[in-house]
Amino acid sequence: MKLFFREMGQGPALIILHGLFGSSDNWLSVAKILANDYRVILPDARNHGQSPFSPEHNYTLMSEDLMELITSLNLQQPFVIGHSMGGKTLMKFLTLYPGIVAKAVVADISPRYYSKHHDHILIGLASIPVQTLESRQLADQLLAEKIQDLGERQFLLKNLHRDENGQFHWRINLAVLTKEIENIGEGLTETIQVDTPTLFLHGGASNYLTERDLPLIASIFKNYQIQTIEGVGHWLHAENPQEFIQDVVTFLKSNP
């Protein structure tokens, strides 16, 4: 699948893969800083943003999409950052396409299986009648019945797009993501070991990546590091972008 992507900067290629319900838009502020040193490429995953919708959504397909992007842009040994779902995609990619990525940064996710925990989001989004919706304010009021956190609602409602005719529609494939949600949490099952230098960045207040994940990470990734950004949760790049960028750049510029 040919993905929609944004591009900025010059230098070594750096691809950033967003998480579930996100898009390339979520990474623009970080990308603008990284673009001082890198050619930053921000794709929208399938069934997200401005990329095509598909009836299937799994990490094998998303890895194939990433390979198509790398090939079509003729990128040689790119760096890749993946957050959450994007991190899962990156880990899968490293097992399926060894030697393609120079260095990898996996942001706040591990190779293990995660049980479903997005039902409240899916139910909340499905409660919004986009065909007859009159305003974003009404959408927020309806979503607030399921999701109390304002920041989380604002993040999710970035997917609500109004066309030139004033009609709202989703820039996520809500029906397919609901159907395929179990695949989002699947664990890495490949027995192949990854030699690519890989940095695991962990939000200190997040439970997505914990000490119990270290044996599994070590069994798959032969050349890994793990660092913690204290005081931040799963959205570590948004909560402390300065330290996130510093850790990423230090790792990318270090000797292999």
Tell me if residue 84 is catalytic: yes
**Cβ distance 39 to 75 under 8 Å?**
no
Asked if residues 110 and 219 have their Cβ atoms less than 8 Å apart, the reply is: no
Contacts 24+ apart (CB under 8 A), 124-129: 124/156, 125/156, 125/170, 125/174, 126/174, 126/178, 128/160
Catalytic residue among 18, 57, 83, 234, which?
234
Active-site choice (23, 84, 110, 206): 84
Question: Bridge partners of 79?
Answer: 14, 103
Separation CA 142–CA 135 (nearest Å): 11
Name the pairing type of β-strands 103-107 and 198-203.
parallel
One-letter amino acid for residue 226 of the chain: I
CA distance 192 to 111: 13
> Which H/E stretch holds residue 168?
strand 168-170
For the chain, the maximum distance between any two Cα atoms, rounded to a whole number of angstroms, is 56
Q: Which residues, 6+ apart, have CB-to-CB distance to 146 below 8 Å?
A: 120, 121, 123, 124, 127
Q: Is 23 a catalytic residue?
A: no
128 and 142 Cβ atoms separated by less than 8 Å: yes
List active site positions. Answer: 84, 234
